[in-house]
């Protein structure tokens, strides 16, 4: 099975359970008239390819078809819930405050910073800088515990079955959640199934002993990375006229008392609030529900202006100009006989450019042909602040977009002659949108939009 197959299998079970539960809870007639939307939250650090595969798996699992399916960044979702759910009379935020959202989950920690432009009647925020993140969630504390367990147990470690080792790590979960680095709790114990007493391993009556210092060390390996991410994000956001007002800790790991303590100790000297909102562990799904229930337009719709994580462009060709283009890129167009320069990049979105859900970016194509067939265009991306004008090492392949206009009659296209041989020219555009930071494509020909035949992302 591929990764998409595995995720599809999992989401299929969720989809069936959800639909079955709704039909049991509500009248069948009501359900048949009710439109069901699905909102899936994904880590902010996921690539365009990963989000595309997730969307494909969800659609194949049943969440596409007659349903509306949308993907939403996890910290963005948490920000919607946190800011919108605060009591207006006691709101800790004001217009032009800058807030860092730290979404600390099991696998990833994602950070996004927003400047609040408006709170009511419509929440409006703009990203201050590109989001960052890393794989330093709470499951990495579990891995550190397993290392400690294996080191202390020595040769006895292999006498514990894989199933019981997994259960031991699972038993560590409750201890991990309760850790506060409180001097009144100098010792912690984790149950190890089938093991009695091994004094040399500090296992007593089947309970593996961990001191407060050892617990702190297990956490610090991971939390040091989290604090480093927060520090880097705050540095990016702070300038001569603005500084960060608050750090919001959300996600399951975001509820950790020790994580809060470490972040507070770092932020307090800089006069930055650290907030653990109510329902921090479920703030992401609550924000997703809020987003899903919003009308498509009007004053209630949340406006989030995002910054492009990188530049996006199209690999194509230009009319050859001596001194500007390289001879190694030169070729002759077989229809027109004109000298062209291939390997050129036309950037239609620049890194750090502000993007909105409703905005579409147009790239115009002019194609010559004698026989009409689908066209395959390569979209590329670059993380440099100033992307190059031609294909170089820093420019990476993003996806292949197939534009299919073969259903149209030839008379729709402009006909010309070269040496008495007719050829046709097609002027069309690819429209690119970033709904909830997810790439969406359509083809426009003579003012009418057509669907894209296929979009294949590079791995």
Nearest Cα neighbor of 284 from 55, 107, 72 is 72
Tens of pLDDT, residue by residue over 140-180, are 999 999 999 999 999 999 999 999 999 999 999 999 999 99
Mean pLDDT, rounded, for 404-415: 84
Report yes or no: 294 and 302 within 8 Å, Cβ to Cβ. yes
Least confident stretch, 149-153, 199-203, 294-298, 371-375: 294-298
Q: What is the pLDDT, as a whole number, of residue 78? A: 85
Strand pairing report for 339-349 and 311-319? antiparallel
Mean pLDDT, rounded, for 35-45: 89
Q: What is the pLDDT, as a whole number, of residue 373? A: 86
Model pTM score = 0.78
Written as one string, the DSSP assignment of 355-421 is: E-TT-EEEEEEEEEESS---EEEEEEEE-SSS--SB--TTEEEEEEEEE--TTS-GGGSEEEEETTE
Residues 380 and 438: their CA atoms lie apart, in Å, by: 15
Higher per-residue confidence, 27 vs 85: 27
The band of 7, judged by pLDDT with boundaries at 50, 70 and 90, is: very high
pLDDT at 418 exceeding the cut of 90: no
With a pLDDT cut of 70, the percent of the chain lying above it is 96
Q: What is the pLDDT, as a whole number, of residue 436? A: 65
pLDDT at 208 exceeding the cut of 50: yes
pLDDT at 319 exceeding the cut of 70: yes
Higher per-residue confidence, 441 vs 386: 386
pLDDT at 299 exceeding the cut of 80: no
Mean pLDDT, rounded, for 436-449: 79
Query: Rounded mean pLDDT of the chain?
Result: 88
Residue 173 neighbours by CB under 8 Å, 6+ apart: 142
pLDDT at 358 exceeding the cut of 80: no
Residue length of the chain: 459
Cis peptide before 450 (omega within 30 of 0): no
Longest dimension (CA), the chain: 95
Least confident stretch, 18-32, 43-57, 171-185, 295-309: 295-309
Computed on alpha carbons and rounded to an integer, the radius of gyration of the chain in Å comes to: 27
pLDDT at 459 exceeding the cut of 60: no
Report yes or no: 107 and 253 within 8 Å, Cβ to Cβ. no
Higher per-residue confidence, 308 vs 218: 218
The band of 233, judged by pLDDT with boundaries at 50, 70 and 90, is: very high
The DSSP element (H or E) to which 113 belongs, if any, is strand 109-118
Q: What is the pLDDT, as a whole number, of residue 90? A: 43
Q: What is the pLDDT, as a whole number, of residue 300? A: 67
Write out the two tokens for 63. Answer: 């969440």
Report yes or no: 314 and 401 within 8 Å, Cβ to Cβ. no
pLDDT at 301 exceeding the cut of 80: no
pLDDT at 64 exceeding the cut of 90: no
Mean pLDDT, rounded, for 361-383: 84
Q: What is the DSSP letter of 121?
A: S
With a pLDDT cut of 90, the percent of the chain lying above it is 43
Mean pLDDT, rounded, for 248-277: 94
């Amino acid at each position: 099975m591929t990764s998409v197959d595995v995720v599809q299998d999992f989401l299929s079970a969720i989809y069936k359970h959800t639909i079955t539960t709704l039909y049991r809870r509500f009248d069948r007639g009501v359900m048949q008239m009710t439109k069901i939307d699905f909102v899936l939250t994904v880590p902010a650090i996921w690539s365009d390819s990963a989000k595309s595969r997730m969307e494909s798996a969800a659609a194949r699992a049943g969440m596409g078809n007659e349903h509306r399916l949308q993907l939403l960044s996890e910290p963005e979702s948490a920000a919607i819930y946190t800011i919108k759910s605060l009591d207006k009379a006691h709101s800790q935020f004001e217009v032009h405050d800058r807030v860092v959202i730290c979404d600390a989950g099991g696998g990833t920690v994602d950070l996004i910073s927003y400047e609040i432009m408006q709170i009511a009647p419509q929440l409006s925020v703009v990203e201050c800088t590109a989001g960052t993140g890393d794989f330093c969630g709470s499951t990495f504390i579990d891995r550190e515990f397993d290392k400690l367990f294996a080191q202390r147990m020595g040769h006895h470690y292999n006498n514990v079955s894989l199933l019981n080792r997994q259960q031991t790590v699972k038993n560590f979960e409750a201890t991990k959640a309760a850790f506060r680095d409180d001097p009144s709790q100098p010792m912690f114990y984790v149950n190890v199934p089938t093991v009695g007493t091994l004094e040399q391993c500090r296992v007593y009556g089947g309970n593996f002993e961990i001191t407060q210092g050892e617990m702190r060390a297990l956490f610090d390996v991971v939390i040091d990375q989290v604090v480093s991410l927060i520090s880097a994000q705050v540095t990016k956001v702070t300038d001569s006229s603005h500084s960060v007002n608050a750090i919001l800790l959300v996600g399951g790991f975001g509820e950790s008392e020790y994580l809060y303590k470490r972040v507070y100790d770092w932020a307090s000297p800089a006069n930055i609030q650290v907030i653990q909102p109510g329902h921090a562990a479920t703030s992401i799904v609550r924000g997703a529900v809020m987003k899903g229930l919003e009308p498509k337009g009007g004053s209630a719709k949340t406006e989030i202006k995002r910054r492009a994580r990188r530049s996006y462009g199209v690999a194509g060709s230009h009319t050859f100009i001596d001194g500007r283009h390289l001879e190694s890129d030169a070729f002759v167009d077989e229809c027109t006989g004109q000298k062209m320069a291939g390997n050129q990049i036309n950037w239609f979105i620049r890194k750090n450019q502000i993007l909105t859900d409703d905005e579409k970016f147009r790239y115009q194509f002019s194609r010559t042909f004698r026989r009409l067939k689908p066209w395959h265009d390569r979209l590329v991306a670059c993380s440099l602040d100033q992307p190059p004008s031609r294909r170089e090492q820093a420019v990476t392949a993003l996806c292949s977009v197939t534009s299919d206009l073969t259903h149209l009659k030839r008379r729709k296209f402009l006909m010309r002659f070269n040496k008495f041989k007719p050829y046709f020219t097609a002027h069309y555009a690819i429209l690119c949108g970033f709904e909830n930071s997810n790439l969406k494509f359509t083809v426009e020909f003579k003012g009418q939009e057509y669907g894209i035949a296929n979009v294949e992302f590079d791995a």
